[in-house]
Amino acid sequence: MTKDYAKQYINGKWIEGHSEKSLTNKDPFNEDIIFEMKSASEQDLNEAYTSAQQAQKKWSTTAPGEKQQLLESVAQVMVKRKDEIIDWLVKEAGSTMTKANLEFSVAHRIVKESASFPYRVKGKIMDSDIPGKENRVYMNPKGVVGVIGPWNFPFHLSMRSVAPAIATGNTVVLKPASETIVTSGTLIADIFAEAGAPDGVLNVIAGRGSEIGDAFVQHSVAKVISFTGSTEVGRHIAKQAGEQIKETALELGGNNVLIVLEDADLEAAAESAAFGKFMHQGQICMSINRILVHNQIHDEFVDLFKKKVESLQTGDPSDEKTAIGPLINRSQVDRIQKDLDDSVNQGAEEVLGGKVEGNLLHPVILTHVTNDMPIAKNEIFGPVAPIISFESEEEAIKLANQLPYGLSGAIHTKDLHHGVETAQKIETGMIHINDQPVNDEAHMAFGGEKDSGLGRFGGEWVLNKFTTEKWVSVQKERRAYPFFE
């Protein structure tokens, strides 16, 4: 087991990258350099895919009990190394202790769910209209899966593809995010290695997108590309994969709403909004982007919400009392600040102002926001809470559906049946009644509509994503053909 995570992991070996360029890994809170490493070249990428292809031939025919045991061992290693995983999430991704522990828990559940997959890959025997024929449908692994990890929930969202893909008989080449090389890549490889994964089953290639990004997607060995990230990059990946008729699993951006109806429990709604907006500084695809509040309760809700947010501590993510830590880098702070300033110039009002300290952006609450302001129409990915007032439920639904995203959402109301009826009218892949949008359960369908992605992760849905079905018919008695009757 290696502790030098500043390397590539190919075919069970830790090696230096062969690019002339390097990658720098920084702590987003204090901007200290954690390490520098040689970037992967196309030669490294090709070796990783070749190793995965060769390993997949044997891994696909490995007994389901052995596959299950590997995933169970991964889960055990994770528990043993939990403190290390948490520490890396804090110092590399800027995760607060609360967020890091939550991320560990959901990743662990993904691995445990994946351990059930080897025995859930089932075929079918079906009748035929042709006399003496038996139809069989076999469910087989796709082959080699290319996974591109994100930086916001790096450990969980990379593991969400890696564990199910391997459990279903595929092998994986994982490209971690450059901001979180360890938690979205090399640490995962080290855990699988300790758990006993055969060489080549999981390979990790850390490299610049400008150098190996397109080649990663276009490589002929990759049968599926799983990507979690921005809609802009996802659209580029989908285009490249489409040109090669290649399967994709895309979980992209969101512009999620929390709708507070007139009959809502405002105390509960305010707590939901504070958690769903400010968990991990709002750097979650499911984070609340817009809070829609009925005008009859608007002022009361704003007062309650402001009090909840003012109680949240901003600062060092390693401090267990900290609720809001740093953004991943300075460019994110600058981007959000521009949208914030432009929106204020267009009429938004700051109820709570956010000072900037390095990569720390203290929480901001805005009222008098409209859907066409940058802070509302763009995905924020930061600790800014725009509040939009509405007069009728029909207006709220229109506001929610007006923008091109459809990932998650939430509705607060005391009438649960009506809440479900309203939820059915929101164009989104996931929505939660009397909760907030940041929900992820390993056995549930996770994914979005419209510009928020393609396909579903979780449970039986991801099982279908990483397998393919083959029809094999068996003619058990001589068939009579019309030509020869």
Indicate which residues carry an active-site annotation.
Answer: 251
Q: What is residue 180's DSSP assignment? A: G
Residue 459 backbone zone (phi > 0: left; psi -120 to 50: alpha; other: beta): left
Strand residue runs (E) in 358-420: 360-361, 364-367, 384-390, 405-406, 409-412
**What is the pairing mode between strands 356-357 and 288-294?**
unpaired
Cβ contacts of residue 141 below 8 Å, gap of 6+? 56, 60, 168, 169, 170, 466, 467, 468
Q: How many CA atoms lie within 13 A of 296 on its CB side?
A: 7
**Around Cβ 42, how many Cβ atoms within 10 Å?**
16
- Enclosing H/E stretch for 83: helix 82-93
Residue 90, both tokens: 């804090």
How far is 352 from 92, CA to CA, in rounded Å?
Answer: 29
- The token duo for 86 is 């948490």
SS3 275: helix
Residue with tokens 């994964």: 197
Query: Could you tell me if 374 and 339 are in contact, meaning their C-beta atoms sit under 8 angstroms apart?
Result: yes
Q: Which residues lie across from 172 on neighbouring strands?
A: 145, 202
CB 359 within 8 A of CB 326: yes
Position of tokens 């990569």?
359
**One-letter amino acid for residue 308 of the chain:** K
Q: What is the three-class DSSP state of 414? A: coil
Confirm if 234 and 250 have CB atoms less than 8 A apart: yes
Pairing label, strands 13-15, 8-10: antiparallel
SS3 label, residue 479: coil
**Residue 402 identity (one-letter amino acid):** Q
Say how far apart CA 425 and CA 482 lie, in whole Å: 53
